[in-house]
Amino acid sequence: MPADDRPARLGRPRAQPDTASGLSPRDQILDAAAALFVENGFSATSTRAIAERVGIRQASLYYHFAGKDDLLVELLTTSVRPSLDVVRGLVDRVPGSVSAAGALAALVLIDVDTLARTPHNIGTLYMLPEVQGDRYDGFRADRQELQDTYGRLGTLAATADIRATVTPERLGGILIQLAETVIQLRRDREVDDQDREAITGTCLRACGLTPDAVATARRDATALLTAASV
């Protein structure tokens, strides 16, 4: 019988994940947890099931994480923190060397890309009842900071009539929800550049920007993101 046709040997679960995937043991566990949380729900997923998906002993999972809540906190944080890390450096330069509209457009693009890359569309779990618990205070604080940043940049970029009628808190809530439509788009298909452009343009227009101002903001955002990546 050719080697490739031999039945796989089940054997015993390993102490550590297989490194052939290129992911670290910790990342393999996170990826398996994300898949199972989204497929089966958080409550219905056990740490044993996560360990079995990776192919390790349950005890080995606890070497990296204390339990399911720690896994979900880590996954949710990765859907917010990268956007914050980049944007914090931009916000302090507004409205000096960086235009508010350009910084807002950059934030939307970063946020959409972050959410588009989260493993197994983990953003679908934002509204889980468990996420309202104390263990998730850090994630909720990060997301609130992100929403506040949307509100601050949106207000600075907005036209006078928008600033007169919409508070920064309300505008931030609207803008972050527009950016997070990428979570729903991922349920049906891959997110592409047209989606990114549409979401960014919608956020800018929600601030009252004209088509010319939207185009300028997009160019400014491209320059900002290019400079940030150097």
Collapse the DSSP code of 8 into the 3-class scheme (helix H, G, I; strand E, B; otherwise coil) and give the result: coil
In this predicted structure, what is the pLDDT of residue 228? Answer: 67
| Assigned token pair, 103 | 């910084």
The arithmetic mean of pLDDT across residues 145-158, rounded, is 95
In this predicted structure, what is the pLDDT of residue 2? Answer: 39
The CA distances from residue 205 to 34, 91, 131, 212, in Å, are 34, 20, 32, 11
Closest CA relative to residue 83, chosen from 38, 31, 149, 133: 149
Mean pLDDT estimate for the chain: 87
Q: Decide if pLDDT at 82 tops 70.
A: yes
- Top mean-pLDDT range of 1-5, 58-62, 96-100: 58-62
* DSSP letters spanning 33-74: HHHHHHHH-STT--HHHHHHHHTB-HHHHHHH-SSHHHHHHH
The arithmetic mean of pLDDT across residues 208-216, rounded, is 97
Closest CA relative to residue 118, chosen from 49, 56, 187, 208: 187
- Residues 220, 224: Cα–Cα separation, whole Å: 6
In this predicted structure, what is the pLDDT of residue 8? Answer: 33
Note the residue count of the chain: 230
Least confident of 71-75, 89-93, 196-200: 89-93
pLDDT band at 10 (very low <50, low <70, confident <90, very high): very low
The arithmetic mean of pLDDT across residues 93-108, rounded, is 85
User: Would you say the C-alpha torsion 49, 54, 57, 61 has a positive or negative sign?
Assistant: negative
In this predicted structure, what is the pLDDT of residue 17? Answer: 53
